[in-house]
């Protein structure tokens, strides 16, 4: 799995400002659950000074998405809206002591949520600048404007770089040619030539199968590891008057039961995401964690 910094781990396991905000006067929604990442950023802004007095987030995504959202709320509190808008996705990554290249799109999502929230506060309609015919990646709905801005802001050089920062090109690969055209045009502005051959070689290397730690283990060992993760998170949930139990394992789907305070908690999705991330880290493979009633089992 990816090599996360200690700061990323801290913000993932103990996220700051992960909650809803009833008195928010600025809301920014970006991403979509269908594409794998969604973020809602809420702000409480002083009407007189436009200083951000409080910031909170709710997200559906991986550990990097949670960590990026958490640190973003800490960065912008106390800043004016104009000062906050100067925060870049690289600032978010730097504050986390770096993100794996494959997870840089999480910091980009945080920056977009901030822009959307500020626009919402000012009564403006924020959009991601989609234009007729400008959609490059249909799998993840990424347009040419976003790719160009991200390439310029982060000095990207290859299609793999663009995929890491925007997700564009990470699906069916049909948009790679369009991404290459954008890279060629943007790099030419600074007198630099886009090296298509090197870019494709790097992309091919990234697609080569890697050794997965979880492969080859017996089903019994796999289930024991899943149980070990469950047991590791239970004490923290129990302190909050909740609990979690393992219901069943079916292929790459792990069924769990949240009980007590956890069953109706607004942070239930964050808890499930955290358990899922820990399981993937321990197993070295993708798993999907699904909450079901204890008696429902796999049938649910």
The runs of H, that is alpha helices, within 122-241 are 144-154, 159-166, 176-188, 196-207, 219-239
Helix, strand, coil percentages in the chain from 3-state DSSP, rounded to 5: 45, 20, 35
Mean pLDDT (the chain) is 83
Cα torsion through 69, 266, 33, 30, rounded to 10: -40
Cβ-defined contacts of 93-100 (< 8 Å, 24+): 93/68, 95/7, 95/71, 96/5, 96/7, 96/8, 96/11, 96/67, 96/68, 96/71, 97/5, 97/6, 97/7, 97/8, 98/5, 98/8, 99/5, 99/8, 99/64, 99/68, 100/2, 100/3, 100/4, 100/64
Residue numbers annotated as active site: 35, 106
The residue length of the chain stands at 300
Q: Quick one: 248 exposed, middle or buried, by C-beta within 10 A (0-12, 13-18, 19+)?
A: middle
83-140 pLDDT, tens digit each: 999 999 999 999 999 988 888 888 899 999 999 999 999 998 776 554 444 778 877 7
As a whole number of angstroms, the distance between CA 31 and CA 17 comes to: 19
Q: Is the pLDDT of residue 241 over 50?
A: yes
How far apart CA 22 and CA 42 sit, in angstroms, is 9
More confident residue, 52 or 142: 52
pLDDT band at residue 207 under the 50/70/90 scheme: low
How confident is residue 146, by pLDDT bands cut at 50, 70 and 90? confident
Mean pLDDT of 55-80: 91
């Amino acid at each position: 799995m990816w090599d996360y910094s200690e700061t990323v781990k801290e913000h993932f396991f103990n996220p700051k400002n992960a909650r809803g905000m009833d008195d928010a006067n600025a809301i920014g929604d970006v991403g979509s659950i269908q594409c794998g990442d969604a973020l809602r950023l809420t702000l409480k802004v002083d009407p007189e000074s436009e200083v951000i007095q409080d910031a909170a987030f709710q997200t559906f995504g991986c550990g990097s998405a949670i960590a990026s959202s958490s640190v973003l709320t800490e960065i912008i509190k106390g800043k004016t809206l104009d000062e906050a808008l100067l925060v870049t996705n690289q600032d978010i990554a730097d504050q986390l002591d770096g993100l794996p290249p494959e997870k840089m799109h999480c910091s980009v999502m945080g920056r977009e949520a901030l822009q959307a929230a500020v626009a919402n506060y000012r009564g403006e309609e924020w959009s991601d600048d989609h234009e007729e015919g400008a959609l490059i990646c249909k799998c993840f709905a990424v347009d040419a404007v976003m790719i160009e801005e991200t390439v310029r802001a982060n000095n990207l050089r290859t299609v793999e770089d663009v995929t890491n920062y925007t997700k564009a090109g990470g699906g069916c690969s049909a948009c790679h040619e369009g991404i290459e055209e954008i890279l060629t045009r943007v790099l030419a502005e600074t007198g630099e030539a886009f090296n298509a051959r090197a870019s494709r070689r790097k992309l091919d290397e990234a697609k080569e199968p890697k050794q997965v730690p979880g492969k080859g283990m017996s089903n019994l060992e796999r289930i024991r590891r899943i149980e070990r993760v469950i047991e590791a998170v239970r004490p923290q949930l129990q302190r909050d008057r909740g609990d979690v139990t393992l219901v069943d394992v079916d292929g790459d789907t792990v069924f769990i039961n949240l009980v007590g305070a956890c069953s109706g908690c607004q942070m239930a999705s964050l808890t499930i995401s955290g358990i899922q991330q820990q399981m993937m880290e321990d197993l070295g493979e993708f798993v999907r964690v699904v909450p079901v009633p204890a008696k429902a089992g796999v049938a649910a």
